[in-house]
């Protein structure tokens, strides 16, 4: 399974943008880039995913490098509720179903 | 849409007893569900892939006779921790796949198991 590398932790100030990086240099052509976040004592929550093009949704934006070896999750205005562990995961395309292998993720702290 | 309900949210059991955890997809059918466990301050570890109507596929190092998985319908998968011991105490989380190519997975809220 292709692996991802993320910084262990990041800090942000409330209402400022946050850019969470992820490296995935061994990504294959059919791997989707997924982002999830997990609040304490809760299951992970889907944030966003993409394949080649940048993606936007109500929660965040995903910027994917042209060579797909890295990506960045962008929270446009961080709030205290965005403090969580963020996981960047490659989902293999395997007949519509591929298992997700979690790395250590990035713990985001948001300061008021 | 895409809600996964996990029950119970927490359970305390005596050493040697068995505990069943349920994972239901409420508004979609899930031919595939996944079971994870998470120890404090660690990431999620995939235990097994649960396939409707067939045997689960376990990850290396996971004891299939201890962690029994049943996926009898398209909306329900269960994980039974048999003969639980204190070292089985953990946070167990399920997720379900809507089988849309590349789409995100939906996770349950997790079950905190404490074996005393």
User: Does residue B100 surpass a pLDDT of 70?
Assistant: no
| Distance in angstroms (rounded) separating the CA atoms of residues A24 and A71 | 8
Residue B107 touches chain A, beta carbons under 8 Å = yes
- Position B102 scores a pLDDT of 59
- Write the pLDDT tens digit of every residue in B14-40: 999 999 999 999 988 888 899 999 999
Instruction: Identify the three-state secondary structure at position A21.
Output: strand
User: Does residue B89 surpass a pLDDT of 60?
Assistant: yes
- Position A98 scores a pLDDT of 73
Beta-carbon contacts below 8 Å between A and B: 62
| Distance in angstroms (rounded) separating the CA atoms of residues B81 and B25 | 21
CB spacing of B46 vs A102 below 8 angstroms: yes
Instruction: Identify the three-state secondary structure at position A14.
Output: coil
User: Does residue A2 surpass a pLDDT of 80?
Assistant: no
Task: For residue B93, give how far its alpha carbon lies from the nearest alpha carbon of chain A (Å).
Answer: 6
Q: Mean pLDDT across chain B, nearest whole number?
A: 92
- Write the pLDDT tens digit of every residue in B46-88: 999 998 888 999 999 999 999 999 998 999 999 999 999 999 9
Instruction: Identify the three-state secondary structure at position B67.
Output: strand
Task: For residue A40, give how far its alpha carbon lies from the nearest alpha carbon of chain B (Å).
Answer: 10
Determine phi and psi for B88, rounding to 5 degrees: -85, -10
């Amino acid at each position: 399974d292709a692996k991802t590398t993320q910084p262990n932790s990041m800090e942000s100030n409330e209402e400022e943008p946050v850019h969470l990086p992820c490296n995935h240099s061994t990504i294959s052509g059919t791997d989707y880039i997924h982002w999830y976040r997990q609040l304490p004592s809760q299951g992970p929550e889907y944030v966003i995913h993409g394949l080649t093009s940048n993606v936007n949704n109500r929660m965040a934006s995903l910027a994917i490098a042209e060579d797909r070896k890295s990506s960045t999750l962008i929270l446009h205005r961080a709030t205290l509720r965005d403090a969580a562990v963020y996981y960047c995961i490659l989902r293999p395309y395997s007949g519509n179903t591929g298992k997700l292998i979690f790395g250590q993720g990035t713990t985001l702290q948001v300061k008021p | 849409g895409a809600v996964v309900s996990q029950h119970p949210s927490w359970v305390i059991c005596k050493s040697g007893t068995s505990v069943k955890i349920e994972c239901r997809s409420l508004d979609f059918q899930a031919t595939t569900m996944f079971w994870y466990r998470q120890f404090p301050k660690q990431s999620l570890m995939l235990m097994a892939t649960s396939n409707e109507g067939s045997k689960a596929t376990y990850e290396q190092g996971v004891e299939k006779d201890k962690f029994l998985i049943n996926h009898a319908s398209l909306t329900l998968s269960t994980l039974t921790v048999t003969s639980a011991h204190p070292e089985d105490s953990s946070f167990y989380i399920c997720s379900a796949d809507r089988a849309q190519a590349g789409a995100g997975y939906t996770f349950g809220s997790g079950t905190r198991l404490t074996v005393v």
